[in-house]
Amino acid sequence: MLNLNDVYFFVQAVESQGFAPASRRLGIPKSTLSKRVAALEAELGVRLIQRSSRRFVLTELGQDFHRHAAAMLIEAEAAEHVVKGRLAEPSGVVRITSSVPTAQLMLADVVVEAARRYPKLRIVVHASDRFVDIVQEGFDIALRDHFNPLPDSGLVQRRIATDPLYLVASPAYLQQRDTPREPADLAAHDALATAPGAAAWKLENEAGERIEVQAPARFTADESTVLLRAAAAGLGIVSLPRKLCQPSLDAGELVRVLPGWIAGGVTTTLLMPHRRGQLPSVRAVVELLVQPGGSQLQVGMAM
């Protein structure tokens, strides 16, 4: 029978990406952690980690072992919470990752409310526009915005919102270039796009009519806030999620172009490893994210 403490130390070292950070995190000497993991490797008869003074890399067997070992520890934590009772106050660390705009626009209020409501929770938010492997990097919850369905990844997926894409521009731009009256008019305007070339807008109205229009891209950026600023500065017309451009619309900095049409929609999906979702601490945060009004998400494709 393996020493389960050694398994725990191994998982902590992997998730901390090294013995030194794990030592600081656990308050245990680095030498002790290294010895315990070495003892685990000796018991198994395999090398789990290739390590040197500069590198800490899991072997192929180490990756497989870590996946099962981490799942075992999660199950142990879940068992502990069951014993303590489902009505116990949520506690412990909940790690959440999302893109930067999602963290700013919909996650911030929720995590603040969760921390206020459950003082024993410790919430860690990681905002990044890079791809995050939530299992390998030890996250409990991920929020992802996407235009196409997410691939089947073995993760729990829960769609929590769909936000329409509005075409918007500044009043000054429209006064100078004339306001489009129908979709075909867009071809004569400057587009603010996410990639060089031409913006291809697939439009739909309330009657279900669909039309695709292309407009030359005057300005290109792969970051939504930059495009928002460019539109407000009068550089052209851009397609943006409602939640992102609504404050500028309310302030009069932007106006909707062709208000009877939307340019598709962006879906927000909550993902989490199956076992993580069983923990009361994670469930508490998820319930705040998905409850009506809890995250100020507006569901639907309203024109």
pLDDT tens digits along 155-199? 888 998 889 999 999 999 999 998 999 999 999 999 999 888 778
- With residue 60 as reference, give the H or E element that holds it: helix 60-84
Neighbours of 271 (CB within 10 A): 19
And the tokens for 23?
């030592």
- Residue 127 and residue 109: Cα distance in Å, rounded? 14
Mean pLDDT of the chain: 86
**pLDDT single digits (tens) 98-156:** 988 889 888 999 999 999 999 999 999 999 888 888 888 889 999 998 888 887 777 88
Name the range with the highest mean pLDDT among 136-140, 242-246, 271-275: 242-246
Q: Are 256 and 165 in contact (CB under 8 A)?
A: no
Ordered domains of the chain (ranges, CATH): 4-84 (1.10.10.10), 92-156+266-290 (3.40.190.10), 163-265 (3.40.190.290)
Task: Look at residues 135, 122, 93 and name the one whose alpha carbon lies nearest to residue 274.
Answer: 135
SS3 of 145, please?
A: strand
**Helix %, strand %, coil % for the chain, to 5?**
40, 25, 35
Show the DSSP H helices in 160-270 as ranges. Answer: 171-177, 224-232, 242-250
Which DSSP state fits 157? E
Q: How many residues are listed for the chain in this entry? A: 303
- Residue 141 and residue 124: Cα distance in Å, rounded? 10
- Residue 52 and residue 136: Cα distance in Å, rounded? 21
85 pLDDT more than 90: no
